[in-house]
Structure 1
């Protein structure tokens, strides 16, 4: 039975729902070796009910996203992916039931390391992985009684979840859409995440993660967002939008010490823009969740453990990448396509080269890309796609023991 979830600050209630999963008789065993029970999960459903799953699309959200992927009604607050999900959109809520759940480790109602959940879990909050997030998604679908899905779709961190789902549980869905994502972060990706986490940890209010609600490391989290946001935009889009335009620096806070001869604030518009992005995230996100989720992305190594069932199931796999994406560009998608091909699984790849928006293009109105997603979801399934086994597709399967994934990575071809 579900109950209404408390909406996060600044968002209308919409139709968020909450379930508590993984009772004592069915605990969640994390890849790190710890177990969790009584895990609250907040999710939203859109479009017509569909118990069979044949017309259901599960959307996996990105790093700072949440379950509110689109509006339920015109008076709702906008969702984070309205270019993709909604009536008449590529993931058409007039046709499909859409399910989106807040990830394990986040801060929008599902169990995570934010102060509100600390007492429930104990300290420290365990390291979670992309596989753990998918395990929670699958248990949610099992509890909702939804059968084999039409599709699993996600971008960025959401695409990592979709890829993990595809490789470990390919019979769960007929189609898998991996958008602007990666199977394994590059050293460059790791470095940007490390700098962001260092900014949070260096904030005096971080207190080794023990800060109270409303008293967290806002400055450090804001800087982490500024760093991350630079990777979401392309250099060309920054240049086109801001160039060297100037804007009025903010007024210093009352009583702030003078900086003799040293400018406290630069004069450029791009600085004001990044400060604005920082303020927006700080108002709605938790620093410990930022650390937790970026760490999960760093650890993700999709092809480190076996994935032979993908070729057997032969789902319809589609990747979408953007030429201007300097975070998870075309080379990341090509790597996934190549690894799947070596395992006997075919994946089509749509590479979009008209948008200069960078990584964030996957969230935007880019006609060629959106049309390609719409055609794919509405098109016929490949003839080789296998029927799902008769059993419920969302039964739990054990994780490899701690460290086994790394050994598998060394042994895999």
Structure 2
């Protein structure tokens, strides 16, 4: 079960298909689109400043068809470093395969034979939607440090405009894990009449102090990388970008995604290489984190990572709405609140608080030794819960 990876940190040009770590792995206009489709949105307003707006392009994917009644549409909101490629294989235009293949796809609970499935890369992301790596409309250079700091509400506003464009008056279900679950909650509060059910998986109604602290440490790792250059690093050659800071941020985050017992059982104090009594030695768990750091650096962008941290850390569905309970009081649809019992990033108490704010909510607690990432690895209980929710909603072809 244990992976065998060597440390990548000392050598920026360590071979990975012969290539150095890219300065940014962001998708940019002119790249192979793959399955992506694009929607131009003029003057998207920003919550932080009602007088500020931004023209954006939203990258999205769809599966299945909207039925004649228009009642079978499902929106799948991606997590922190996810994108619109929910299901399917990796390939030209898509650096990774579908991130929720266990739940979405042929024969799965969210089946394109029954449902019209939609997912978009959030504004500020790096896999097709307008983000810091995209060209600025004034000078054509990457936005970089000039890109605005968006909230989850801004992202949901863009998703609502996408729904309008696709002719979706109301979603049968808006579902997402982690940051995606936060957006599902925002949908319920902002557009309660357009959502018949939500699925909030491993998430929270408002980010806690500890969760903000974890995000702050990740943000500092990126900003303190000399190659970050204040966010304007896109002209650096591959191998000279802020991949060390981005990788360290991912290593910090990934530690919170797994449980302490799972890490201990999987790695313990096993030595990966050398003598750990000397600085050159490395524990197996360190090598494991290095591996995930490199994987993220090869498919993401440092500026987008910071924008996601900001969006998550500022998440509070009750902000400006009289608190969590009042914010969700107007939502009358179904709600599946699903927690992983070993999740130490968004612990069970977060889901209990959220479920208490929605009278018709169903709180489901799944057992997994893995921790927060259990929703990606252990799919059986999740699939059963989602299938039950969709049966209750009664959506389908």
Q: Could you say which residue in structure 1 is the equivalent of 2:252?
A: 227
**Selected match of 2:392 from 352, 369, 379:** 379
- How many angstroms apart in 2 are the aligned matches of 1:51 and 1:65? 31
Q: Could you say which residue in structure 1 is the equivalent of 2:176?
A: 154
CA shift digits 1:327-353 (9 cap, x unpaired): 01210011112233xxxx421111112
Q: Is the 8 A contact 2:172 2:393 kept in 1?
A: no
Q: Is the 8 A contact 1:32 1:126 kept in 2?
A: no
CA shift digits 1:118-171 (9 cap, x unpaired): 847585221100000000000111112222111100110000000011011111
**Selected match of 2:35 from 15, 23, 41:** 15
Q: Secondary structure at the match of 1:334?
A: helix
Which piece of structure 1 moves more, 223-232 or 29-38? Answer: 29-38
Q: Does 1:290 align with 2:305?
A: yes
CA shift digits 1:85-122 (9 cap, x unpaired): 11111212221111000001111111112264584758
- How many angstroms apart in 2 are the aligned matches of 1:311 and 1:83? 32
Question: Which residues of 2 match residues 182-261 of structure 1 at below 5 A?
Answer: 182-212=204-234, 214=238, 215-248=240-273
**Residue 178 of structure 1: CA displacement?**
0.6
Alpha-carbon distance change, 50 to 43 in structure 1, aligned in 2, over 3 angstroms: farther
Which piece of structure 1 moves more, 34-43 or 110-119? Answer: 110-119
Which piece of structure 1 moves more, 166-175 or 154-163? Answer: 166-175
Q: Could you say which residue in structure 2 is the equivalent of 1:387?
A: none
- Root mean square deviation of aligned Cα: 2.8
- How many angstroms apart in 1 are the aligned matches of 2:327 and 2:68? 25
Q: Is the 8 A contact 1:318 1:349 kept in 2?
A: yes
Q: Does 1:346 align with 2:364?
A: no
CA shift digits 1:188-219 (9 cap, x unpaired): 11111111111111111011111115443110
Q: Could you say which residue in structure 1 is the equivalent of 2:159?
A: 137
Q: Could you say which residue in structure 2 is the equivalent of 1:395?
A: none
Q: Is the 8 A contact 2:81 2:300 kept in 1?
A: yes
Alpha-carbon distance change, 8 to 65 in structure 1, aligned in 2, over 3 angstroms: farther
Q: Secondary structure at the match of 2:339?
A: strand
**Residue 267 of structure 1: CA displacement?**
2.4
**Selected match of 2:369 from 346, 352, 356:** 356
Q: Could you say which residue in structure 2 is the equivalent of 1:166?
A: 188
**Structure 1, unpaired ranges of 5+:** 1-5, 251-260, 383-413
Q: Could you say which residue in structure 1 is the equivalent of 2:111?
A: 92
**Selected match of 1:337 from 355, 359, 383:** 355
- How many angstroms apart in 2 are the aligned matches of 1:270 and 1:122? 33
Alpha-carbon distance change, 182 to 308 in structure 1, aligned in 2, over 3 angstroms: closer
- How many angstroms apart in 2 are the aligned matches of 1:380 and 1:135? 24
**Residue 236 of structure 1: CA displacement?**
1.0
Q: Secondary structure at the match of 2:100?
A: coil
Which piece of structure 1 moves more, 363-372 or 215-224? Answer: 363-372
Q: Could you say which residue in structure 2 is the equivalent of 1:64?
A: 81
Q: Is the 8 A contact 1:247 1:268 kept in 2?
A: yes
Q: Could you say which residue in structure 2 is the equivalent of 1:320?
A: 338
Q: Is the 8 A contact 2:187 2:195 kept in 1?
A: no
**Structure-2-length-normalised TM-score:** 0.83
Q: Is the 8 A contact 1:319 1:349 kept in 2?
A: yes
Q: Does 1:78 align with 2:78?
A: no
- How many angstroms apart in 1 are the aligned matches of 2:214 and 2:196? 35
